Amino acid sequence: MKPGSTSAACLALLRRDLTLVWRRRGDALNPLLFAIIVVALFPFALGPETTVLARVAAGTIFVAVLLAMLLSLDALFRSDLEDGSLEQLVVSPHPLALLLGCKIFIHWLTTALPLIIIAPLLAQLLQLPPQVLPVLLTALALATPLLSLIGAVCVALTVGMRRSGMLLTLLVLPLIVPALIFGAGACNAAQDGFAHAAPLLWLAAWLVLSIIVAPLAAAAALKISLS
Amino acid sequence: MHESADEPRALLQAQSLCFARNDEAIFGPLDFSLHAGETVLIEGDNGSGKTTLLKVLSGLLDPTSGDVLLHGAPLTLAKLSHQVALLGHLPGLKLELSALENLRFATGMGGIRPGITPHLALASVGLEGYEDAPLRTLSAGQRKRVALARLLLVPAALWLLDEPYANLDRSGIDLVNRLLDHHARRGGAALITSHGAYAFTSGTPRRIALRATA
């Protein structure tokens, strides 16, 4: 692979961002701890009855995971903006959408994937019926990249502003509510013994669309934010 | 500064370039061209649009009117050919990474000039022995030197340097001048901003003067 080719650039970016996450691994653990704490508090608040907990388990886990991801979203381009790396990405000879796609992928890999990996533990804490677990994991695997992608577009729009955290949350929340409805809906349907493929397929379709459109939108939004 | 048709094609050419933000003119109209082997100084007071001009020339900002031509082709297409290296106010380096890791990332993104390695580049900016030190532990001047090493590595013919002398000591200023000389002799061109040419030690560069319009 020739240095400076687009594939080398993507690889260099992936490697750099992974190294950075590793060097700041304390920060990277925050979303994970947040999700565990939120889920662990529910049994204390609702009482230990299995039926009650199992009823709300999937929805609670979904909300906890999405909020945990939202926590880390603001930092997606922030440090790159502050040290000038973002300018270098924009003036680089490679398609900006592709580079941002790499950054979004790293965001998903380092925040969402650990959350999906501990999801079975969270499910256990809330007494989720074991047969629903595969549906929950599938739904999370489809909904979390959606949040990373949609979130990235909103972050790109707000990154030029100071204290954009509140605005970012307001922008992202309505956009991910459908993902929450479909994802948690699929789990609830599975729990009640109904067909649950349709909401999952909707999520998948939406994800495919977002993978194509969101990096392009994020690149356009970023150019506006930087000007 | 207009060029006639029989002159060799300019590396960079600005044609009645204007930039306005919210209907307020920042600079322009500007006409100039930059040929291989030239170093041109953009002079102007604070707020006269020097940084903005570099951002427009590097494609970060779109000009309000006028054109930027790189080797005679519009910038958006020419951008794909690894021609331009920008060194902005912010060096674009990661403080958590070492100097070497930062440079390896830069060559991965922008390619590498034949016959040079990140180690050699660091040595030629006087940072031998600092290869593996996290950038966080280096001083502002040393970080600037790492950013200069990046310019040496990537195969860009056109350097756009925003205040390259800031944060540097006397030997650092000499270093920038040496790098600019070397780059010009190799057939490269550089456009640098400064609020004063005090730092230039070798010869008098051509100047483009900007005035604050607001």
Q: What is the pLDDT of residues B184-203, one digit of tens each?
A: 888 889 998 876 555 565 56
Residue among B62, B86, B96 whose CB faces A91 most closely: B86
* Contact at CB, B91 and A83, closer than 8 angstroms: yes
Per-residue pLDDT tens digits for B79-137: 666 788 899 888 889 999 999 999 999 999 888 988 899 999 999 999 999 999 999 99
Q: Are A16 and B94 in contact (CB under 8 A)?
A: yes
d(CA B12, CA B2): 13
Structural domain contains residue B74: yes
Which chain A residues touch B if contact means CB-CB below 8 Å? 2-5, 8-9, 11-13, 15-16, 19-20, 23-24, 82-85, 87-94, 226-227
The CATH number covering residue B202 comes to: 3.40.50.300
Structural domain contains residue B20: yes
Structural domain contains residue A14: yes
Residue B1 pLDDT exceeds 60: no
CA distances from B143 to A12, A28, A191, B67, B133 (A): 20, 26, 57, 34, 11
Structural domain total, chain B: 1
Chain B nearest C-alpha distance from A189 (Å): 46
Structural domain contains residue B34: yes
Structural domain contains residue B149: no
Structural domain contains residue B146: no
The pLDDT score that the predictor gives to residue B8 is: 61
Strand, coil or helix: B160: strand
Scan for tokens 């909401």, then name that residue.
A199
Structural domain contains residue B62: yes
Query: Residue B207 — pLDDT band, cuts 50, 70, 90?
Result: confident
Under DSSP, the state recorded for B47 is: T
What is the interface pTM, i.e. ipTM, of the complex? 0.85
Tokens encoding A5:
């080719």
Chain A nearest C-alpha distance from B145 (Å): 15
Structural domain contains residue B71: yes
The pLDDT score that the predictor gives to residue B6 is: 42
A to B CB pairs, distance under 8 Å: 90
Structural domain contains residue A1: no
Structural domain total, chain A: 1
- Structural domain containing residue A29: 6-226
* Contact at CB, A4 and B90, closer than 8 angstroms: no
φ, ψ (nearest 5 deg) of residue B11: -65, -45
Structural domain contains residue B106: no
The pLDDT score that the predictor gives to residue B77 is: 64
Residue B29 pLDDT exceeds 90: no
- Structural domain containing residue B200: 1-80+195-214
Per-residue pLDDT tens digits for B34-87: 888 888 888 888 778 888 898 888 888 888 988 888 888 887 766 666 788 899
Q: Are B49 and B77 in contact (CB under 8 A)?
A: no
Query: Residue A192 — pLDDT band, cuts 50, 70, 90?
Result: very high
